[in-house]
Structure 1
Amino acid sequence: MLMTEAVIWGPLFIYMKKVYTPAVEREPSGLEWRYLWLIPFTFYIIWYYTLYGNSTKSSLELALEPKNTIALFFINAGAFLVYYIVARLVIEQQKNLRLQENNHLLEMQNLQYDYLQDKIKETRRYKHDVRHHIALMQELLKKGEYDKLSEYLNSFRDSMPDISERIYCKNTSVSALLAYFAQIAESSGIEYKVSADIPDNIKIDITDLSVLFGNLIENAIHGCVSDSAKNKKIIIRAKADSYSLCLAVDNTFTGTILTDPEGGFLSSKRKGKGIGTESVKNIAAKYNGVAKFEYGDGMFYASVMLNI
């Protein structure tokens, strides 16, 4: 019997260590494990009651009966099948969540691309029209109408498009994201304050950085847009060194916060948990950090610390 147990439990231990344990550790909600354990539990309760509940034989005599051995085999196989299915479901859930994060990142990149294309078109129109402005200014200069020329120059300066690039930090990817959301915030009438010190050679995956900053700032803008208050503002503070990255995004918010029984935040755009906050939590866990979300006094506070 000991030899049989060694043959069975050796491969089972390896399987649990490689497949099942990582699935449990990466599982985000915990709801599956709260109820699904009842299935194998029920298997064993039925087995033990049927085998030992109504018998006068010893447990060894019962175990040596071929029919009981076969029944025990199928009961254990059914229980392990349940464990396997749950593990696969959790792994697939993680893959789907990562796919949603990547799709969200691509969506933000497309928005940035559209924004840059609009800037390019605006600059081209400006270059095309500048010849007419120069011709008119030359004509005013020939006629000596300096007052009109000065007035026209002032008007021309005010009408020039803003083609300057906003630099928020040394990291070009993060700076581009901050600049992109700055345009959205300004067009939505939101005060946008940034204090960022992120080096260009930070040892964090660029995809994780984009998802982290993009989700937090996008959620902040969405919270401000849906807010009925007049003085809307977003405050972003970020700093990184050789050991850690600290990011805080605060925004005004006086609406209703939707949460589930586990304390997680529900999405106001779709049914279920918010993808943005879950993505941020996963990135924080990936770098052995923490993600914290709080709200009160008309403000929503999001803070993240990553260990580099």
Structure 2
Amino acid sequence: MKDILRPILELLVVLPGLLLGYFPVKTYLKQSPGRLAAWLFPLMACLCIGSGLACYRLHASTVFALAGVALAAVCLYTRTLTISLWKSGTIALSVCAVFACVNSLSRAVSAAIIRNLQLPPDGPWLCLGACVFYNAVCWVIVLAAYYPATHTVRAMVEDDNFAQTWYVFWVLPLAFILLNLFMIPRYQSTLQTSRVLQGYIVLSSALLVFMFCFNAVFLLMATSLNRNAKLQQENQFLSMQQQRYENLRTAIEEARQARHDMRHQLNQISALAEAGDLENLKSYLAKTVSRIPNLDMCFCENRAADSVVGYYCAMAKRDEIPFRARLDLPETLPVDEIDMCLVLSNLLENALEASLRTAPGRRHIELTACVHADRILLIEVENAFDGEINEKNGVFRSSKRRENGIGIQSVTRIAEKTGGTSTFTHQNGTFTAKVMLCG
């Protein structure tokens, strides 16, 4: 009976690893946690038990069985999440790397138990005591990692600013996994040598400690980078508000000057009318009307949205692009204002760039935003575009500069994060973006 349990216990460590992987991505599940656990964990438990029994019957090592079960768990894990494959795959690799280090340490513990008790190395699996140690350490790691995984790591996963971080971090856990595989001795008896066993214990323990240290350093670096990115975004929004304030002050000054000159203008108009000089009267009235400033200074009650829209409205007027905005947004929104500003700034900047590449006669930008059912924010931006659309697999990609935007893909991620949707269509030379954010 003990021999049957040994390979099964070696494979059952996939269950705590799977649980650890789900801690930071709970909000990205495609189905409820209870429903997911009801079928996923029994399925993986049956797969581990079946693979363990097969290893027992064939008297084979669990290395390949563990690799197959872990691969199946990773595939199911990534398929049950709505986040990108880079993020989910990197989290899965990180968990596998930590548990691979624990596996090496458990192998050393198994060799030490067999050597001290002078037990015969009668199987290709860990001894029963080492299997219990293996599972116990894995569950202790899961319990210890619960708080940082559900807070710090989750915040990093939900942050869309530094998605490129996930494109490089996978190298680190993969290197640890390969290193632990390389350390596996060809023969179990190799570890029975005193010096080899001591060195193996030190090396496997050091790898586990280094793995935790590298993960901690990465979290600190990512947190610092994300904090700097948020400060940069806030500075950009403050710059928009400053520009908006300057435009409003200029318009107010022009209106004040116009009111001051109104008496002189009326006297001139009266003189031309008394003289019956209709041509000069018409010309003078046309010049006077052209000097009256546009006093459409307020787009909505929400200051954040008004600042962003006002900023891009001024840029559009500078480039002689017709800009039309219909905003019905209250002072307090049901969604996060930072998310709303990011969506607006990205969509309007894309529309502005597209308009500059369009024939002057066809240029236009139309923005509509309103709150629906007290908890849904609807945003629609429409603009003409004569250029070539960079589309791949139904996804429109932004070609604008990277330092002042996070792209159309980020707009989609923000919408999905709030439980909303986003659609982008290009038809008959008109590009339309529709975004729904939920509170």
TM-score range, shorter chain: 0.7 to 0.9
Decide whether the 8 Å contact of 2:365 with 2:381 is kept in 1.
yes
Decide whether the 8 Å contact of 2:425 with 2:432 is kept in 1.
yes
Query: Is residue 307 from structure 1 mapped to residue 432 from structure 2 by the alignment?
Result: no
Match of 1:288 in 2: 419
Decide whether the 8 Å contact of 1:229 with 1:254 is kept in 2.
no
2:211 paired residue among 76, 79, 104: 79
1:214-260 CA distance string (max 9 Å, x none): 33223212220232463112222322121311111111112244579
Match of 1:113 in 2: 245
**Range with bigger deviation, 39-48 or 68-77:** 39-48
Q: CA, structure 1 residues 262+18, in 2 after alignment: closer, same or farther (shift >3 Å)? A: farther
Match of 1:191 in 2: 322
Decide whether the 8 Å contact of 2:334 with 2:377 is kept in 1.
no
Separation in 2, partners of 1:31, 1:167 = 37
Deviation at 1:69, TM superposition (A): 1.7
Q: CA, structure 1 residues 155+64, in 2 after alignment: closer, same or farther (shift >3 Å)? A: closer
**Range with bigger deviation, 232-241 or 188-197:** 188-197
Match of 1:145 in 2: 275
Separation in 2, partners of 1:46, 1:152 = 85
TM-score (norm 1): 0.75
Residue identity matched to 1:86: F
**Range with bigger deviation, 289-298 or 256-265:** 256-265
Separation in 2, partners of 1:100, 1:264 = 25
Deviation at 1:305, TM superposition (A): 0.7
Residue identity matched to 2:365: I
Spell out the pairing of 1:207-246 with structure 2 (5 A cutoff).
207-228=338-359, 230-241=361-372, 242-246=374-378
Q: Structure 2: which 5+ runs fail to align?
A: 1-129
Give the SS at the match of 2:361: coil
| C-alpha RMSD over aligned residues | 4.0
Q: CA, structure 1 residues 297+139, in 2 after alignment: closer, same or farther (shift >3 Å)? A: closer
Decide whether the 8 Å contact of 2:335 with 2:375 is kept in 1.
no
Spell out the pairing of 1:90-105 with structure 2 (5 A cutoff).
90-105=222-237
Deviation at 1:307, TM superposition (A): 0.8
Deviation at 1:112, TM superposition (A): 0.9
Separation in 2, partners of 1:174, 1:12 = 39
1:85-130 CA distance string (max 9 Å, x none): 3333433343233223212212211221221122133223323433
Q: How many percent of aligned residue pairs carry the same amino acid?
A: 22
Match of 1:24 in 2: 157
Separation in 2, partners of 1:269, 1:27 = 17
Separation in 1, partners of 2:342, 2:165 = 26
Separation in 2, partners of 1:285, 1:63 = 55
Paired residue total: 304
TM-score (norm 2): 0.56
Match of 1:122 in 2: 254
Separation in 1, partners of 2:264, 2:430 = 50
Separation in 1, partners of 2:215, 2:408 = 28
Deviation at 1:178, TM superposition (A): 4.3
Give the SS at the match of 2:257: helix
Q: CA, structure 1 residues 95+226, in 2 after alignment: closer, same or farther (shift >3 Å)? A: farther
Query: Is residue 164 from structure 1 mapped to residue 295 from structure 2 by the alignment?
Result: yes
Q: CA, structure 1 residues 67+175, in 2 after alignment: closer, same or farther (shift >3 Å)? A: closer
Higher helix share: 2
Match of 1:37 in 2: 170
Query: Is residue 15 from structure 1 mapped to residue 148 from structure 2 by the alignment?
Result: yes
